[in-house]
Amino acid sequence: MIAKDLINDSFPPLKLSDTGLKALNWMEEFRLEHLPIVDGVNYIGLANEEDILKLSSLDQPLAIHKLPLIRPYVRFNKPVFEVVKLISKDKLTIIPVLDEADHYIGLITLADILKHYAESGIFEDAMGVIVLEVGIKSYSLSEIATLVEAEGARIMSSYMTPNPENETFDLTLKINQQELSRILSSFNRRGFIVKEFYHQSEFTDDIQSRYDSLMNYLGI
């Protein structure tokens, strides 16, 4: 799964013509501490509640104020783990998503990320994780399992995420060993597209810690 698959269409961005009062009302309504500001399709930056409250006049357009905007974003084609890295780094409640032309296409919330992890179960019992892009018509789990088992490992579980733009889907494999180099080489020799791979130490030292930071930030 990549960033664009987690875009939440429920939260519109602010425009430069919107007032500070509207920004605060939306933040309260959506229960978010940040909202993106756009000028047409161009992403201007991320406004936070604290800075809006400091404005001299809340009934004036945001365009006339010099807000100290930050400008974090993630590309639409980045994997979910990169989204976690960015959103946790600056302790954000959302992260804007830009397309290949740097145009704003939506946002991802903390809740969206947590829901993804809860549904995927990616941290449960896996020594290693491999994500393959496979064709719907050519897909054969038995062939994939045979390749994994030939390298002395087993697939503990798998789940599929469709790619709406083409007739492929991402197949996430949870493997019972963290040494993945031979399995990856086998997939490459057979022409499989390996999109992502992770092993247990990365979960423990990096990805899991990022996930934990999100939990701490939310007070969970």
Per-residue model confidence (pLDDT) at position 218? 46
**Based on the domain organization, do 16 and 46 belong to the same domain?**
yes
Long-range contacts of 64-73 (CB under 8 A, 24+ apart): 65/20, 67/37, 69/37, 69/44, 69/45, 70/45, 70/46, 71/43, 71/44, 71/45, 71/46, 72/46, 72/96, 73/43, 73/97, 73/98
User: Does 85 map to a domain?
Assistant: yes
Mark whether 26 and 74 lie in a shared domain.
yes
55: three-class secondary structure by DSSP: coil
Q: Are 111 and 126 within one domain?
A: no
Say what the pLDDT of residue 220 is: 43
pTM, two decimal places:
0.59
Tokens at residue 83, please? 């989204």
Residue 20, domain member (yes or no) = yes
Q: Which pLDDT belongs to residue 122?
A: 57
Domain count, the chain: 2
215 is a domain residue: no
Check residue 204 and give its pLDDT. 43
Determine the structural domain holding residue 135 and report its residue range. Answer: 121-205
pLDDT at 125: 56
pLDDT for residue 213 = 54
Looking at the structure, tell me whether residues 102 and 196 fall in a common domain: no
Are 94 and 180 members of one domain? no
- The answer on 135 and 113 residing in a single domain is no
Last residue of a domain, one of 117, 148, 175: 117
Residue 214: inside a domain, yes or no? no
Do both 85 and 147 map to the same domain?
Answer: no
CATH number at residue 150: 3.30.2130.10
- Mean pLDDT, 10 residues at a time, the chain of 220 residues: 88 95 94 93 93 91 90 89 77 90 93 74 68 87 94 88 80 88 94 83 49 51
